[in-house]
């Protein structure tokens, strides 16, 4: 346990000292904060009458809801899926190229301890980026005076943290199998695009299997935040032979746990058998 904590702190400190890494993270966060601000910008209103007073509803937001607007944004979806995969892809391949992996393995810790510590460090840093983005979205929502639910914001943040943490582990497993940093990046990026684009064909072909994909899990968990959002991401809800949204959310949680468990086992097994001296 202490060994994993030492590796985690060592890795975080090493990234914070790397100027290029910090600059890249800052640019990424700023770009997505600007895009979130653009996505949440209210441009049109719908005027309706409620009893004896006029009521204005923001029509530029999806159904007038901030969380659904963010969840359905294609660029934010690309960030949620591809960024943690690419970040996790640096776990083994990048360290093996620079020789840092040999340095870490010279410490009195097992290979599994080093691997878990490296992955945990990336999960922690990715979680920090997600929290910064959600704080920016919260401030933008408050600045524009759009009504929001703190519970919904907390739930959506938890969904993002769970999805990105799982995909970081998947990226680390890919990195443990790759022989170079370029192959790790390429494989992770291709896998991310596969996750994004396989959603629609699966939904049309066999909706029951759709929860095997992380994108569908992401949508299901977001829809599970509020019972009113149950059919938000379903093109034809009647095709889903599920008793309620709670069963749908439960299946999504089980699918996410299966992804996390399988990726962790595959990554640990691959890292135990690799030659860390080969770059």
- What's residue 58's pLDDT? 45
- What's residue 273's pLDDT? 76
- What's residue 183's pLDDT? 85
Burial class of residue 89 in the structure, from the number of CB atoms within 10 Å of its CB (0-12 exposed, 13-18 middle, 19+ buried): buried
Q: Could you give the angle at the alpha carbon of 132 between the alpha carbons of 127 and 133, nearest 5°? A: 100
- What's residue 24's pLDDT? 80
* Residue 131: alpha-carbon gap to chain centroid: 12
- What's residue 210's pLDDT? 65
Place of tokens 């896998």: 191
Contacts of 135 (CB under 8 A, 6+ apart): none
Q: Could you give the angle at the alpha carbon of 48 between the alpha carbons of 51 and 146, nearest 5°? A: 105
Q: What are the Cα distances from residue 221, in Å, to 65, 159, 209?
A: 16, 6, 16
Q: Where are the domains of the chain?
A: 2-38+72-273
- What's residue 23's pLDDT? 84
Calpha distance 68→132 (Å, rounded) = 19
Say what the pTM is.
0.81
User: For 254-258, which contacts have Cβ atoms below 8 Å and span 24 or more sequence positions?
Assistant: 255/211, 255/212, 255/217, 256/162, 256/163, 256/166, 256/214, 256/217, 256/221
Enclosing H/E stretch for 278:
none
The DSSP bridge partners found for residue 50 are 53
pLDDT average per 10 residues of sequence, the chain (279 residues): 78 78 82 77 50 46 65 83 88 71 73 84 90 85 76 88 93 84 86 83 65 80 71 51 56 87 88 67
- What's residue 208's pLDDT? 60
């Amino acid at each position: 346990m202490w060994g994993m904590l030492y590796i985690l702190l060592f890795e975080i400190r090493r990234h914070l000292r790397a100027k290029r890494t910090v600059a890249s993270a800052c640019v990424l966060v700023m770009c997505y904060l600007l895009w979130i601000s653009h996505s949440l910008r209210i441009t049109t209103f719908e005027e309706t009458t409620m009893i004896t007073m006029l009521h204005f509803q923001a029509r530029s937001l999806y159904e007038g809801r901030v969380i659904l607007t963010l969840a359905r944004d294609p660029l934010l979806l690309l960030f949620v899926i591809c960024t943690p995969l690419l970040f996790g892809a640096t776990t083994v391949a990048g360290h093996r190229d620079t020789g840092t992996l040999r340095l870490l393995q010279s410490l009195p810790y097992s290979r599994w301890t080093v691997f878990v510590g490296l992955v945990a460090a990336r999960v922690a840093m990715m979680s920090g980026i997600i929290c910064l983005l959600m704080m920016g979205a919260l401030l933008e929502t408050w600045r524009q005076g759009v009504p929001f639910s703190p519970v919904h914001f907390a739930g959506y943040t938890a969904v993002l943290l769970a999805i990105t943490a799982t995909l970081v582990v998947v990226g680390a497993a890919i990195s443990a199998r790759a022989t170079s940093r370029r192959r790790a990046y390429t494989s992770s990026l291709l896998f991310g695009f596969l996750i994004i684009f396989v959603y629609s064909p699966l939904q049309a072909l066999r909706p029951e299997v759709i929860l095997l994909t992380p994108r569908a899990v992401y949508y299901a968990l977001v829809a599970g935040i509020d019972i009113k959002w149950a059919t938000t991401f379903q093109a034809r809800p009647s095709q889903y032979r599920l008793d309620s949204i709670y069963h749908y959310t439960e299946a999504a949680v089980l699918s996410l746990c299966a992804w996390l468990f399988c990726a962790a086992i595959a990554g640990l097994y691959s890292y135990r058998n690799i030659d860390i001296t080969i770059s």
